[in-house]
Structure 1
């Protein structure tokens, strides 16, 4: 599994790139980084790039649900960028777990996803 993340736009945008299968250990890095950015900047916008993403291991899925519940109101917008129909469906599945506006973009529209996130 590979999870890479970086902050952009002065810390208001968290870019998360995932490939392979998410493992429980991946959340040990992601959660503290998210918490730090939220404490410094308030509500965040997330670009979740799922190019090459193949889902979660069971323990990671539980960590993802816990993360969603704990950070329900701390995310303003999420752009989910992917390559497959199940990834588009995942953007619909995630909506009840957040008050964030969620929008799916095909990989070819990565630039549009970024522009949507940074727009007011």
Structure 2
């Protein structure tokens, strides 16, 4: 299951259980909606409740991230240690956004709201 909340230029996304393709498509649609109004999006991705993802999600993530490599300003990922290596690889390989991993969602939100 995926929950998405749109807050201005910030998308807050929480994943619970296994992330499947229909849920990932909802995230893609939310990003596209935001990009119609803004040049770049900030993303808060909370995967603390995620138990895994399907193979088709992994492939879709690579395709989507590559096609939107310049559309994210910052991505804050709230994650337990188990997802950190995979998320770091994906973000470094396919996007030029600033990406930070956090254990505390409040710290992630604060970082997203910082001005450069």
Say yes or no: TM over 0.5: yes
Report what 1:116 is aligned to: 111
Kindly state the Cα deviation for residue 66 of structure 1 after the two structures are TM-superposed: 1.1
Report what 1:18 is aligned to: 15
1:1-80 paired onto structure 2 within 5 Å: 2-8=1-7, 11-80=8-77
Kindly state the Cα deviation for residue 71 of structure 1 after the two structures are TM-superposed: 0.8
- Report SS of the residue matched to 1:25: helix
> In 1, Cα distance between the equivalents of 2:84 and 2:74?
16
Structure 2 regions of 5+ residues with no counterpart?
Answer: none
Report what 1:88 is aligned to: 84
Inter-CA distance 62–91: structure 2 relative to 1 (3 Å threshold): closer
Kindly state the Cα deviation for residue 65 of structure 1 after the two structures are TM-superposed: 1.1
Structure 1 regions of 5+ residues with no counterpart?
Answer: none
* 4+ long deviations beyond 6 Å: none
TM-score normalised over the length of structure 2: 0.91
**Count of matched residue positions in the alignment of Structure 1 and Structure 2:** 114
TM-score normalised over the length of structure 1: 0.88
RMSD of aligned Cα (Å)? 1.2
> In 2, Cα distance between the equivalents of 1:45 and 1:33?
12
CA deviation profile, 1:33-59 (whole Å, cap 9, x unmatched):
110101102201100001211221111
